[in-house]
Amino acid sequence: MEQKGSDVDTASEAVTENATKATESQEGNIWLRGLVMAFYVVVTRVVEIVVVAVLVTQFLFKLMTKKTNQRLTDFGESLSLYIASIVRYQTFNTEDRPFPFGSWPKVDRSSSDESTNSEPPTQPQAS
């Protein structure tokens, strides 16, 4: 009968040891995540500069040609998806790390109206 008590004690010690290791691992992971999150703060600032460059270029393109540049539009869309993925990671809504640790967001242009129409949709005018 003492053998069973000893087995229970050994199993209990193993569970406690595993829980301690898991806690230490999570603490290490949270510090690594914090470091990665700080990295993405810097990346977000760089992306903001790129967004300004894209919007100025798109504005000038539209001013001169009266059309939008589809490549710039798609790139702007992917930048917005990228920033959203950074925010989702930083706010603990996902464990998936954005680019450069993950893949770059893809723009889905499945609607043929969006890909062929370079003009923005017209809004109803208030009367």
The 10s digit of each residue's pLDDT in 35-88 is 999 999 999 999 999 999 999 999 999 999 999 999 999 999 999 999 999 999
Decide if 27 is inside a domain: yes
Decide if 114 is inside a domain: no
pTM over 0.85: no
| pLDDT reading at 123 higher than 60 | no
Domain count, the chain: 1
Helix (H) or strand (E) holding 37: helix 2-65
Helix (H) or strand (E) holding 103: none
Decide if 123 is inside a domain: no
Directed axis angle between helix 2-65 and helix 70-90, to 10°?
A: 150
